Amino acid sequence: MILSDGDFEFFFSMYDAAIEVIPEKEKLQYATDVVDVMLDHGFELKHHVKELSDHCEYLAQAIDAHFEQQEEDEDIFEEWNEDEIEEWD
């Protein structure tokens, strides 16, 4: 799902209202949860990395962590496939 400018305005308004009342030590977890919910609902983060990252340092960290985990998962999957192929040879 691609977000319009109006969608971003709405999302950032809600996000900002919530993040203000969240204790400092829990803000990164909240941003991570927001990113997870966005992914669960079909948002295409790759198309919105700049807008989201520029808006909030916690969103930037959560998005970076998501893509790092995604890369690690792909590496593990590739290694698993290589092992499986070797077993079948």
Give 85's pLDDT tier (boundaries 50, 70, 90): low
How many angstroms separate the CA atoms of 5 and 7, rounded? 5
Q: pLDDT digits over 10-55, tens only?
A: 999 999 999 999 999 999 999 999 999 999 998 888 888 999 999 9
* Per-residue pLDDT, 64: 95
How many angstroms separate the CA atoms of 79 and 89, rounded? 16
Q: Which amino acid is at 19?
A: I
* Residue 36 CB neighbours (<10 A): 12
Prediction pTM value: 0.76
How many angstroms separate the CA atoms of 45 and 2, rounded? 9
Nearest to 15 by CA among 51, 42, 46: 51
Write down the domain spans for the chain: 5-88
